């Protein structure tokens, strides 16, 4: 397995593989890799000839009051796990390498980036979109893998690729969870035992809501109200949003008449966590 910290070194290794006709896969991450990341990486290794994992805690996607400094870093374990799984290259640039000349260019996806988390984290998706475009231009992957855990991010990235005619297929993979349902996240490291116990109410209330939709509930506001109440009862310190949205446009829906996504962001023990679930109101009550 190769490790590159320089863009030129990553490009050189990948160019050699591409010349021999290998298909290049890419899994962009911020490191502190857990089973959610490993599921993407294992799929990439299985489906492509050369899996490139990028590990970069991107300062551009953190707000001034956010957790950039304390974001978990676990480089040695990340590297060992990638080597074990057959990753061909880990690209691990520093911020000075990625933003050598500062950063005056931003990639902005109007609408999709401004709803849900975009309302509460201004500039966040511009930071994500900009770094993902840079990584795609450096790695030039044929296929790139993202988790549905960050559902809005997945939709936004699919849209950039479409709008900018980028020759990469984007694969979205299901959320990997702890045994009690909590979505795996590097930010779960921040949780105290008590907050960790409380945080599983997110998945429990989403699963209950999905059950209600399967049983025939179609009123999005009623679903949102119930999740909100469950989160409060379950110990959420505050709730940024609970929203039933169209799975492609991310616009709020009134009536769940077809496929929809229920997304939420809430705070537990000082950590901002997100989760979501797919529902489908197109069938009869099941
Ligand atoms: P991050 O390191 O948080 O930027 O995440 C890197 C990639 O891993 C993103 O595509 C995330 O959506 C994905 N990911 C993070 N957590 C999970 C999870 N629990 N299940 C599946 N994918 C995940």
**pLDDT tens per residue across span 178-225:** 999 999 999 999 999 999 999 999 999 999 999 999 999 999 999 999
Output the pTM of the full model: 0.98
Q: Is 30 in the pocket of ligand 1 (CB under 6 A)?
A: yes
Could you write out the DSSP letters of every residue in 125-138?
HHHHHHHHHHHHHH
Tell me which long-range contacts 222-225 makes (C-beta under 8 A, separation of at least 24). 223/256, 223/262, 224/262
pLDDT tens-place string over residues 233-249? 999 999 999 999 999 99
Q: Is 198 in the pocket of ligand 1 (CB under 6 A)?
A: no
The Cα 149–Cα 223 span in angstroms is 20
* Distance (Å) from CA 171 to ligand 1 centroid: 12
pLDDT tens digits for range 81-133:
999 999 999 999 999 999 998 889 999 999 999 999 999 999 999 999 999 99
Burial of 46 (C-beta count, 10 Å sphere; 0-12/13-18/19+)? exposed
116: left (phi over 0), alpha (psi -120 to 50) or beta: left
Mean pLDDT of 227-238: 98
Q: Does the pLDDT value for residue 285 go beyond 60?
A: no
Main-chain phi, psi angles of 238, to 5 degrees:
-155, 160
Active site residue 37: yes
Report the separation in Å between the CA atom of 241 and the middle of ligand 1, taken as the mean of its atom positions: 20
Residue closest via CA to ligand 1's atom 5 equals: 29
Q: Is the dihedral of CA 127, 133, 139, 144 positive or negative?
A: positive
Q: Which of 34, 37, 124, 203 is catalytic?
A: 37
Ligand 1 neighbour 37 (Cβ under 6 A):
yes
> Of the candidates 15, 12, 41, which has an alpha carbon nearest to the alpha carbon of residue 26?
41
170 Cα: distance to centroid of ligand 1 (angstroms): 14
């Amino acid at each position: 397995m190769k490790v590159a910290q320089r863009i030129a070194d990553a490009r050189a290794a990948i160019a050699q593989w591409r010349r021999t006709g290998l298909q290049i896969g890419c899994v962009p991450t911020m490191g502190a890799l857990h089973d959610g990341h490993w599921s993407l990486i294992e799929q990439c290794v299985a489906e492509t000839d050369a899996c490139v994992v990028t590990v970069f805690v991107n300062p551009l996607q953190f707000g001034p009051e956010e957790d950039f400094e304390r974001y978990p870093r676990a480089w040695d374990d990340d590297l060992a796990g990638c080597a074990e799984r057959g990753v061909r290259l880990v690209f691990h640039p520093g911020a000075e390498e990625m933003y050598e000349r500062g950063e005056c260019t931003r990639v902005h996806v109007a609408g999709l980036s401004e709803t849900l988390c975009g309302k509460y984290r201004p500039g966040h998706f511009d930071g994500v979109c900009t770094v993902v475009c840079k990584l795609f231009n450096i790695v030039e992957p044929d296929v790139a893998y993202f988790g549905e855990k960050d559902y809005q991010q997945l939709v936004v990235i699919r849209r950039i690729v479409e709008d900018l005619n980028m020759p990469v297929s984007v694969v979205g993979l299901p959320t990997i969870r702890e045994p009690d349902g909590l979505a795996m996240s590097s930010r779960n490291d921040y949780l105290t035992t008590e907050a960790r116990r409380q945080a599983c109410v997110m998945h429990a209330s989403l699963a209950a809501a999905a059950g209600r939709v399967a049983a025939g509930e179609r009123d999005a506001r009623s679903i949102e109200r119930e999740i909100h109440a469950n989160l409060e009862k379950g110990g959420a310190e505050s709730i940024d949003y609970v929203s039933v949205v169209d799975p492609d446009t991310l616009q709020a829906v009134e009536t769940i008449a077809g496929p929809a996504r229920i997304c939420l962001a809430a705070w537990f023990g000082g950590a901002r966590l997100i989760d979501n679930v797919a529902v489908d109101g197109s069938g009869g009550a099941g």
